[in-house]
Structure 1
Amino acid sequence: MQTDNPSPAHVLLVEDEPLLRELVMENLQDAGYSVFEAGDGTAGVDILRSDTRIDLLLSDIKLPDIDGYEVARIGKKLRPDLKVILMTGYAPSSLPAVLQAQVHCVLQKPFSLNTLPDTVAAALGG
């Protein structure tokens, strides 16, 4: 549990694979983060358009509706201070130019859940 931050960072997790979404959510909650989840890009964008506090977007790139690149683009437009981490199970490709300076990193699946909280902390500037 984070003790140096009285108000936990709020993470929006957008992942269409239910088991992975659950594992990542539990991992981040155990690390002290407040996690909101969405099973597709449209639901993720709906949360980003709401008044819900979101500090970091953690999104899969390949989603069944709109892709993670688009979720990130919309998120950054709506919330310029939003931090972004993308995930993919496919061969790494270069980020679209418009996102290169805005995405902290792209996690290649499978990734270690043990290091995920540190990756999120680094993206948040901690």
Structure 2
Amino acid sequence: MCHVLVIEDEPMIAEIICDFLRDEGATSFDVAETADDAIRMAAAHQPKVITSDIRLAKGRGPDAVNVIRARHGELPTIFITGTPDECGPCKYAVAVLAKPFSPLMLADAFSKALAAA
């Protein structure tokens, strides 16, 4: 079983990410549109892998991921963003994918994340 927390405030992009990762073996998802939602969802159902945008309508993805990792351990994280240069501090990321991304890029990053989990 592979539960993924998708932190993305654009519903269509979140749906695409979930569809691609389902094809790669993810079995369940939580989709958070805000940093606070992401932190709350991770506490309720700890993910095996996190994907996160950088800029959210409320908050920043890296800030939420840092809180989640501090509370739940070093969870593999893939950042998917239109602003990859703003990914800081993100040195721990399995990958930083620029939007638009391809299914192959996401599949490769997800495979690395699963290996790190």
Q: Could you say whether these structures have the same fold, taking a TM-score greater than 0.5 normalized by the shorter chain as the test? A: yes
Identity of counterpart residues, as a percentage? Answer: 28
SS in 1 for 2:50: strand
The residue identity in structure 2 corresponding to 1:56 is V
Equivalent positions of 1:1-126 (< 5 A) are: 8-34=1-27, 35-50=29-44, 52-90=45-83, 92-93=85-86, 95-96=88-89, 99-100=90-91, 102-125=92-115
d(CA) in 1 for partners of 2:112 and 2:2?
12
- Larger gyration radius, structure 1 or structure 2: 1
| Higher share in helix | 2
d(CA) in 2 for partners of 1:91 and 1:125?
23
Question: Contact (CA 8 Å) 1:86, 1:105: kept in 2 or not?
Answer: yes
How many equivalent residue pairs? 115
Unaligned runs of 5+ in 2: none
Task: Evaluate the alpha carbon distance shift between residue 49 and residue 68 of structure 1 in structure 2; reply closer, same or farther with a 3 A threshold.
Answer: same
TM-score by length of 1: 0.81
Instruction: Give 1:10 shift.
Output: 1.4
TM-score by length of 2: 0.86
Unaligned runs of 5+ in 1: 1-7
